Structure 1
Amino acid sequence: MQGPVVPPGGPDRRIRFKAGVACIAVSFLVYPAYVAIPFLSLSSTTKLTITLIASILSWGTFCAGSYLSGRDGYEWLKRRLRR
């Protein structure tokens, strides 16, 4: 006797989708930091470095989220942005 039949991509697909959407959402949390960076009492070079690191972190997380969520994530995000 076999266990329950799981459709192709079943639970793993759903977990990847949720993780991808979470990564996309987290990637947008970096943007408020851009407003605060100029007011830090650091050198201009350090501020630039922090800005570049934040940008790379944000885009890297967004790309990873896009990869994980796949086409479903893209369609979900497109619907949300059109509101």
Structure 2
Amino acid sequence: MRGLAALTSSPRRSNASALSGSALRIAFVRYAQAQRQVVAHILWRGVVWGTMPIFVGIIWSLSPSVGRRARIMAFYAF
């Protein structure tokens, strides 16, 4: 029993587990930050690509080279 207690209360072993715990914590925090950046990037791309047709339609409907009926249709379509 004494040998088992010496193994479990060894300072080297407790330091190693503390270091591995902090390394795991740091790795998890970095992973979570990277995941947040990925999600933010995907959402931003969705906003850009989702609103682009609206702006293209408005600009196209305001273009003077487009006929009156086409401008009205484009304005109401977008």
Q: TM-score, normalised by structure 1?
A: 0.37
In proportion to residue count, which structure has more helix? 2
Which of 1 and 2 has greater Rg?
Answer: 2
